[in-house]
Amino acid sequence: MNLLLLFLRLETKRLWRDRTLPLAFLLMTVFLAVAVQSGRGFVRKERAIIASAQTEEKTRILGLKQQIAELTSGTATQQPSRGSDPRLPSNVGRLGQHWAVKPPVSVMGTLAAGRNDLYPPCLPVSNRGVETLFGIGEIENPQFLLTGRFDPVFVLVFLFPLFLLALGYNLLSEERENGTLALLRAQSVPLPAVLGAKTTARWLLFALPVAVFAPTLLLLAGLFGGDRITGDTIVRLVLVTVLTACYGAFWLALCAGVNALRKDSATNVATLVGIWLLLTLIVPGALQEGAGVLFPVPSRIALIEATRKNSMKTTQQGNALLARYYEDHPELAEAAQSKTIDPKDFSARRAAVAKSVEQIVEPLIVRHDTQLRRQQEFTTRFSWLSPVITFASALEELAGSGAERQQRFETQVKRFREQWQEFFLPRVFARMTISVRDIESLPRFTFEEEAEGMVQGRALGVAFPVVGLTLLLGAAAARLLERRD
């Protein structure tokens, strides 16, 4: 402990005097401030999209209600075409589309755009084919999607380790190159203790302050931005601190391990940067390629092909399908016969065809989703190959921009679409008309978040392998030094 305190004092003095520490703090502060600003910008844009979608829906629904009221009371000045008559349920299923919204997580959304910039924050649910529901992207210059965002997760995942490498590449090598290592050893200080103390000092001096500072900045940005701050937000922010501190410890342990190999400082830098490149860019890239080869996801092209092929086939059987539907739902057939509308009504036939096509292509969608899930499981299973992957995914999870939350949203939207269909299809088949009251009782989507404990638990779970790896690296470094001492 005394040794640690001594080195803490000495290292603080040294790193402060040669301006490494103030420079690192300054740069990190600037990077984090810019990143938080950029993250806030992204969340602001998401919120603006959601707000404009909700305003659009409100205006549209109001217009529909007004149109229905006018048509019903006979005060309408213009008669709508068949395709835009708001009294027909098949039209309202489309014209009354509802935006299913996935709101950004308060405060935490700033942390990472994650996969959120690939998907719009709201999806239009209507009676259009299920294949049209997904696969829509938010408008963005694809060049910038490729580049990625300068958000806090980028700073913490990619740049933070580089600062630690710059602080730790010469833990022992510099002492050796300056000739001070021999002096230290002459005082019978064991080398593993020197290395351990110097590493811990850097963790305490830089990694820990950054781990506390980054979430504090997020919190301040949230407070000034008027975000709602709850107990869960605070827990998530604390988790960011814990994870960042563990992640920092891993990189410093790596520095210690490389220093234990007793190479010169330049070789240490090259080795550490090589490892950084491997862990941050090459391993994730290789895992992604591997997942693609092992679990190829059937492309959406195949889904479109199958939908069209079956749509052609079933359209020819439209009347038969409609008849079969009425056999299955005699109550709707009776209701339909009592109407004066042509029994070969186009809307009902089209709805029957669409429903049949959906049933046929459902296995393809399931296969697509299963393969994608397998890819994700594969990459998660092998994510221990790089703590960078686990750390990044944990932060994205906490930010509400991870794959898990998106998957959850899409599953709920699919379920909601079924609810939407259940609302309209019986009305289509019963050849009913839509009233203002029907419009008021249209199903509405509310995104159900996963239990907070689950999200937090999963994120915290990442800390254990990182800590394990850190301890392992530390032990290996100590062993290596003892053996050569």
Ranges within 349-378 binding other proteins (CB under 8 A): 368, 372, 375-376
Rounded-to-integer distance, Cα 462 and Cα 174, Å: 33
Rounded-to-integer distance, Cα 307 and Cα 319, Å: 19
Rounded-to-integer distance, Cα 187 and Cα 168, Å: 23
Q: Which residue has the tokens 């992207």?
A: 137
Nearer to other proteins, 313 or 479 (CB): 313
CB 332 to other proteins: min, Å? 26
CB 9 to other proteins: min, Å? 25
Please report how many Cα atoms fall inside a 13 Å half-sphere around the Cα of residue 477, on the Cβ side: 29
CB 154 to other proteins: min, Å? 7
DSSP one-letter string for 70-122: HHHHT--SSPPPGGG-TTSHHHHHHHT-EEEE-PPPTTGGGT--TTTTTS-SE
Of the candidate residues 56, 331, 418, 450, the single one contacting other proteins (CB under 8 A): 56
Of the candidate residues 10, 17, 26, 137, the single one contacting other proteins (CB under 8 A): 137
The torsion of the CA quartet 393, 242, 160, 180, rounded to 10 degrees, works out to: -140
Residue 414 near other proteins by CB under 8 A: no
Rounded-to-integer distance, Cα 373 and Cα 354, Å: 27
State which of positions 227-256 bind other proteins (CB under 8 A): none
The Cα diameter of the chain in Å comes to 105
State which of positions 30-49 bind other proteins (CB under 8 A): 31, 34, 38, 41, 45, 48-49
Of the candidate residues 93, 96, 104, 120, the single one contacting other proteins (CB under 8 A): 120
SS3 273: helix
Rounded-to-integer distance, Cα 354 and Cα 132, Å: 13
Q: How far is CA 179 from the centre of its chain?
A: 50
Residue 114 near other proteins by CB under 8 A: yes
Of the candidate residues 29, 241, 265, 317, the single one contacting other proteins (CB under 8 A): 265
Q: Which of 59, 15, 377 is nearest to 207 (CA)?
A: 15
Q: What are phi and psi of 311, to 5 degrees?
A: -65, -40
CB 162 to other proteins: min, Å? 6
Nearer to other proteins, 196 or 402 (CB): 402
Could you tell me which stretch among 116-124, 186-194, 208-216, 324-332 binds other proteins (CB under 8 A)? 116-124
Q: Which of 255, 270, 237 is nearest to 198 (CA)?
A: 255
Residue 408 near other proteins by CB under 8 A: no
Rounded-to-integer distance, Cα 325 and Cα 59, Å: 35
State which of positions 62-91 bind other proteins (CB under 8 A): 78-81, 83-84
Residue 26 near other proteins by CB under 8 A: no
Q: How many residues bind other proteins (CB under 8 A)?
A: 87
Looking at beta carbons, which pairs linking 339-342 to residues 24 or more positions away fall under 8 Å?
Answer: 339/430, 339/431, 339/432, 341/431
State which of positions 171-200 bind other proteins (CB under 8 A): none
Residue 379 near other proteins by CB under 8 A: yes
Nearer to other proteins, 118 or 183 (CB): 118
Of the candidate residues 154, 247, 416, 445, the single one contacting other proteins (CB under 8 A): 154
The torsion of the CA quartet 183, 186, 191, 193, rounded to 10 degrees, works out to: -100
Residue 128 near other proteins by CB under 8 A: no
Residue 52 near other proteins by CB under 8 A: yes
Q: How far apart are the first and last CA of the chain?
A: 22
State which of positions 432-461 bind other proteins (CB under 8 A): none
Could you tell me which stretch among 129-137, 180-188, 230-238, 424-432 binds other proteins (CB under 8 A)? 129-137
Binding mask 289-328 for other proteins (x = CB under 8 A): x-xxx--xx-xxx--xx--xx--x---x------------
Phi-psi region of 114 (alpha: psi -120 to 50; beta: other; left: phi over 0): left
Nearer to other proteins, 142 or 226 (CB): 142
Nearer to other proteins, 38 or 72 (CB): 38
